[in-house]
Copies of this chain bind each other. A is one copy, B any other.
Amino acid sequence: MAENKIPYKIFLTEDEIPRAWYNVRADMKTDHRPILNPGTLQPMTESDLEPVFCKELIKQELNDKDRFIEIPEGIRDFYKMYRPSPLVRAYCLEEALKTPAKIYYKYEGGNTSGSHKLNSAIAQAYYAKKQGLKGVTTETGAGQWGTALSMACGYFGLDVKVFMVKISAQQKPYRKGVMETFGASVTPSPSDTTEIGRKMLEQNPDSSGTLGCAISEAVETAVKSEGYRYVLGSVLNQVILHQTVIGQEAKIAFEKIGDYPDVIIGCAGGGSNLGGLMLPFMADKLAGKQAPYFIAVEPANCPSMTRGKFAYDFCDTGMVTPLAKMYTLGATFSPPSNHAGGLRYHGMSPILSQLYHDGYIDEARAVMQSEVFKAATLFARHEGTLPAPESAHAIKAAIDEAVKCRETGEEKTILFGLSGTGYFDLGAYMLYNEGKLVDLVPTDDDLARGLSAIPEVNL
């Protein structure tokens, strides 16, 4: 290939790491509806949230005024260890697809935690440390968030108690191992260390756990332990905010090479990866400028945007959290088994839900697991990077868009988020290689049952 081509990887300098996070709420035409106290149906206030969350993070959660929120130097120093992440031109994939499209991906899986989750984990750990806390509690399912938080807390010398869904802890012992190496204590959930855990175990001693129960145990532990708060890896405004470093870096990189994406694609679970990549470009759309076509990709087994309802709902299965207005399949909805644990969430970030509802996110698309792994394998062989199954949802859509360009001859610039590595998902790849992955989708009855459990909130 010619030497005067745009490089395969566009790296920014460390000085170009964003100095502020972008708060899209300051620009949104219609802000998302406030989160509500489920008892009073009144908006949650700072003081309502203080027993559970860090003070500074609550301020960020409720901030709808400031377009930019400065990134403290202590966080920027940590970002410098693994950021800026590369914007990669997928030359080899383009060749394999014989497409005139230019395909780019922003790769967030190069750090030891293996995903973009570290961008928010380090911020949350920083504010916990600054507040003088001893430690934090959280839950983890697939383990990406727990790993990222363990790294961040290890760096600041904070204690971290991770409640890991029992079945995940058993299926992915190495995830537990890496968290412990960074100093975390990992408790399979349900456990006998909390009231809710003991109650669950009493009802069902063989319970393999749920994310809902792990959340409840983590919150209970935070509230009852002196000097602890609870932290969360997606859905919340603060998390979406921290993740905007991804899209801001991508935007600068595109400026450097004199290009701009026509299409932006991200996988969507709770919304942190999609939001982080998309929102700095969404700023252009909200300002009435030229902007990309935005596509959210979700798994067909957990289709909150494509088959859910835009309504107030609980954020957890246990129905102890505040109510949020969002696309939801119902807090009791249980997606059929698949191998993209990071996308198995019944709801969607309130910010992203509002933007989708108002037509700013152009399209949501649900894809089948087998197609996702087919795309992941094609990508791995040509681009030399093994993607996380979650991220491969975006790859699937990017390939489909590139193939459309081959048919129409359009030279579109496609950008997708490669949010994580597949190192910890080889069990799923092996099943796919052996032809043993099954595509499961919820039945209409499953969906109806979940949707009917959404509370009636006439606000």
The residues of A with any CB-CB pair to B shorter than 8 Å are: 1, 3, 7-9, 11, 13-15, 73, 77-78, 80-82, 88, 92, 110-112, 114, 151, 154-155, 173-174, 176-178, 180-183, 377, 380-386, 421, 423-424, 426-427, 429-430, 433
Instruction: Knowing A112-B386, A384-B111, A426-B174 are in contact, say whether A80-B7 is a contact too (CB < 8 A).
Output: yes
Shortest Cβ distance from A153 into B: residue: B381
Instruction: Knowing A81-B384, A154-B381, A384-B81 are in contact, say whether A433-B180 is a contact too (CB < 8 A).
Output: yes
From the candidates B81, B173, B380, name the one contacting A182 in the complex (CB within 8 A): B380
The oligomer's copy count stands at 2
From the candidates B78, B151, B180, name the one contacting A430 in the complex (CB within 8 A): B180
A3-B15, A7-B13, A180-B430 given. 18 additional CB < 8 A pairs? Answer: A1-B73, A8-B14, A8-B81, A78-B384, A81-B88, A81-B92, A81-B384, A110-B110, A111-B385, A112-B380, A154-B380, A154-B381, A155-B381, A177-B427, A178-B386, A178-B426, A180-B429, A181-B426
Inter-chain contacts of A174 with B (CB < 8 A): 426-427, 430
Query: In whole angstroms, how far apart are the Cα atoms of A427 and B172 in the complex?
Result: 11
Inter-chain contacts of A151 with B (CB < 8 A): 384
Shortest Cβ distance from A92 into B: residue: B81
Shortest Cβ distance from A11 into B: residue: B11
Shortest Cβ distance from A176 into B: residue: B430
From the candidates B14, B178, B181, B429, name the one contacting A177 in the complex (CB within 8 A): B429
Query: In whole angstroms, how far apart are the Cα atoms of A151 and B386 in the complex?
Result: 10
